Amino acid sequence: MKLGQWLGFLCLTISLIILWQIRQILLLIFMAVVLATALNSLVQRFQRSGIKRSRAVLVTLSLMLLLSVLFVGLIVPPFVSQFLRLVQLLPPGIEQALNWVETLINRQPDWFSQLELPSATTLTQELQPLVRNLLQNFFALFSNSLTVLLQFLLVMVLTIMLLVNPLAYRDAFIILFPSFYRRRADLILQECEIALGNWFGGVLVSSLCVALLSGIGLWALQIQLVLAHALLAGLLNFIPNIGPTLSLVFPLVVALLDTPWKAIAVIVLYLIIQQFESYWITPTVMARQVSLLPAITLAAQIFFASFFGFLGLLLALPLTVVAKVWIQEALIKDILNPWRGSASHQLVESIEPHGSEVVVSPTTPSLPEAPAIDEINDPI
């Protein structure tokens, strides 16, 4: 390799190291982009009704502020109160579950007694450190309240900046591409915007339905702390596969304090809700969403959670949606699809010796020249 190539490789390595060190900030910026994209669709609806963009942005932000104040004033105080009571009920609920298991073991048939199973005391001793670690990891996000508050404020400020002047940031991103590919990159960004908007709207409606159905079902079963359970079910529904399973733990533990049969009823209720959400709500409200295979969704959650922690798990699905759009448009459509067998055969034939060097004349069609960056005026 020549000196220039070594310098380029060194700069690329340093850039990757820097990006890895600031990966949490990049995830916060991506969260702001997702929120700005969702709010921008509302701003565009106001614009289509004849309102100027500056006023449309102001109306949208005012509406979001009003909804946030109502949510904080009406929902958050009872939710916090019930959530604190729920935390206090977790240890006796787990103990009740272990006692129920011990009762089942004592009523075992003769053939079952021949199996070597650990006693309830042993299970309690082994589960206590596990439960303690799970609770510590679950509340780790809330332990440093100042950091969480600063991250929230950073996301809100970035969202407002992106929403007020999206073209400047969009152009700054597009200019990083070669000039011949800037128009194509702008089209891919539009596809990402549509995919993120569809995902956000669909998952919001789906989460509201899950929270409502969970609240009605738990109220009918007379489970304590219905509001906390319903809101947790709706919020954790943003995390597919893992979220619904986590939302079952809290009402199940509380139900075990009453009777084991009520706990079984809670399990049946959540299974019915998840089946209803998976086979009716999601296909209905997400008909235009970017389709993702279940195995790819689960693998993406594990991948992003392993590298980026809880924030990566929370943003795993929108990150996967954006990655799929770029892979489908840039890699498959622009590179792999034109790379046909006949084209590659012609490419091999077009290689002719020229002195000591080799001249390659590709026959695959190239992308048209893009206009200047200031000619791109599509919104975010």
Distance from C-alpha of 244 to C-alpha of 272, rounded to nearest angstrom: 12
The domains of the chain are located at 25-108+126-375
Residue ranges in the chain whose pLDDT is less than 50:
111-112, 342-380
pLDDT in the model for residue 114: 52
pLDDT in the model for residue 16: 84
pLDDT in the model for residue 291: 67
pTM for the model stands at 0.67
What is the phi-psi region of residue 330: left when phi exceeds 0, alpha when psi lies from -120 to 50, beta otherwise?
Answer: alpha
pLDDT one-digit tens code per residue, 73-118? 767 677 777 777 776 776 776 676 667 666 666 665 554 455 555 5
Distance of CA 357 to the CA centre of its chain: 50
Distance of CA 4 to the CA centre of its chain: 40
Long-range CB contacts (< 8 A, 24+ apart) of 88-94?
89/224, 89/225, 89/253, 89/254, 89/257, 90/131, 90/135, 90/250, 90/253, 92/257, 93/253, 93/254, 93/256, 93/257, 94/127, 94/131, 94/253
DSSP letter assigned to residue 365? P
pLDDT one-digit tens code per residue, 20-71? 888 888 889 999 998 898 888 888 888 888 888 888 889 988 988 888 887 7
Longest CA span, the chain: 90
Nearest by Cα to 68 from 195, 8, 156, 164: 156
Is the distance from CB of 179 to CB of 369 less than 8 angstroms?
A: yes
pLDDT in the model for residue 65: 86
